[in-house]
Structure 1
């Protein structure tokens, strides 16, 4: 080989986003919808997620992106009667019996030609022992339509920046709790599972008031051939509606 010839290694266009646990409040409500708020109280959050193939940098099209998170008071739909001010020492899917059939703050969207999904929701609150976060699962298409997607390629959690969260937690809908939220740095999963790389970029929609809500966005790099260890395809049937 000519000594003047430089050798460069091919690097992924995007880093793989770190996987995180699905948590005990996963279920599949079979709801494909952009607005998941269902009129719940809280400060509005417009969320844009871009899913890309970390190996090629190309958008992942026709994938299903499911998200779920707690409301302003820390409750998850399906588990609305679980006390969010009392820490629960379980993290596995199905570890906590459901208490209701509510579906607020849950739903999925199919990625477009640019790999983008958009959600209208509310800024999440928190429950005891955790920082503010949003759960995400990405299913890759296996048939002619994204709704045929069964291959769970990635499961993660998205975190909120401290500056925005402090403002939100002072709002009426979020305040007056018996416990305090953990900061991101105090959260075990943030610290040990790459939470910094999963923190949303968040901006206030209005310069005048945070009451008008926030816009959050993030690019998520996945390996489309990977098989998530957190949620199996059969879980979407087992923990449904």
Structure 2
């Protein structure tokens, strides 16, 4: 190759996945979303990049939400997680409470990075272990301006980590059995193999010290997601 030949870099666009029936806008800007929920600690570091340029996306508003160790979501805490629900559509299941555990949002820093402190998710009937997230971009990249939803996805946990974490007492004694990633319909049909967190243990002596998970998420900042509409953030609020 000639030394003057320009080098073109290619960045992968992360696959979108459904928002699920347990989406709501908690309007909570916070790094620690656990609210004291019982479970194995999980620290997340997510890097948001522009898949068209490879550049970091600063000031993106990144929302995440996931179930607790027993498979329940805040807002739907009275739904039995050992019974499979019939629909994955937003608003398909009526809320049962106003709890907000394991939900929250952060603005990405100048390097496109957000960090969350939470717990390792449990599971609910019919699904593999996963974390939901949505990325919103402001008009003109001004965090005070109205935002459009550019990307909605799910992060999956590696099988090795899940087998270890879900043996802990907080996750034990369930009436249903979790699906593996490969058995999960959404994982297998919506690009889940590109959505697995890179996970490491935090401690040397015990997995109960917690886990650290990281991933780079490539988005099209001009895209408008079909999974969550801007009005959904207004409609499904606390």
Q: Same fold (TM over 0.5)?
A: yes
Structure 2 stretches of 5 or more lacking a match? none
- Cα distance in structure 1, aligned partners of 2:25 and 2:48: 20
Among residues 75, 78, 85, which one is paired with 2:75 in the alignment? 78
Asked if residue 15 in structure 1 is aligned to residue 12 in structure 2, the reply is yes
Shift of 1:42: 0.2
TM-score, normalised to structure 1, is 0.95
Shift of 1:149: 4.5
SS at match of 2:104: strand
Structure 1 stretches of 5 or more lacking a match? none
Residue number in structure 1 paired with 2:113 = 116
Write the mapping of 1:1-241 to structure 2, written as runs, cut at 5 A: 10-12=8-10, 14-142=11-139, 145-241=142-238
TM-score, normalised to structure 2, is 0.96
- Cα distance in structure 1, aligned partners of 2:141 and 2:125: 42
SS at match of 1:189: helix
Would you say how many aligned residue pairs link Structure 1 and Structure 2?
A: 237
Post-superposition Cα deviations, 1:159-206, rounded to whole Å, max 9, x if no partner, equal 000001001111000010001100000000010111011000000000
Runs of 4+ with deviation above 6 angstroms: 6-9
Shift of 1:147: 4.9
Shift of 1:7: 8.5
CA contact (8 A) 1:66 1:137 kept: yes
SS at match of 1:221: strand
